[in-house]
Amino acid sequence: MRGLSDAVGDEPSDHQTRFRDGGFPTHQEVPNEQAREVGRHQSLFREVNERIDELAEAFELRDEVPILCECATTDCDERIVLTQAEYDDLRRSPTHFAVLPGHEIPTVERVVERNERFIVVEKFGESGRAAIELDPRRRVR
């Protein structure tokens, strides 16, 4: 398992995203069903990270927010540490997700922000629609 120190910088990653069916995405257009699956998977990690954020607030641990990488890889369990301001900015858009460099999938998302610790990707197409539909901050409670 790679640690955060391995993800610093813009070096290419040997990490490959794998869909549930075992296939790897290419730079060609992906079928809508696979794009929605990517959006659903990333939304699941966003939901987990929302709970982590709530717990951090409850225990007054607000300086840093440790989250799970929100990439679409089904076996990724790597962590990213964001400041509270970074996390709040990230959650302003339901199509934005924090992933480690090299974990992005150009066929369903574009990089909109990059720093030495993580990148922010923006979902589009069916993947973006799934992310919006599953955004916990937009659900009627």
* Tens-level pLDDT at each residue, the chain (141 residues): 333 223 323 333 344 444 444 444 444 566 788 887 888 878 888 888 888 878 777 767 667 888 999 998 888 999 999 998 999 999 999 999 999 999 999 999 999 999 999 999 999 999 999 999 999 888 654
Which neighbouring-strand residues pair with 66?
A: 81
Residue type at position 133: E
The token pair at 1 is 């398992």
Residue type at position 123: K
**What is the model's pLDDT at position 19?**
45
**What is the model's pLDDT at position 10?**
31
Give the integer Cα–Cα distance in Å for 98 and 64. Answer: 14
> DSSP E strands: which ranges in the chain?
64-68, 79-83, 96-99, 109-114, 119-123
**What is the model's pLDDT at position 92?**
94
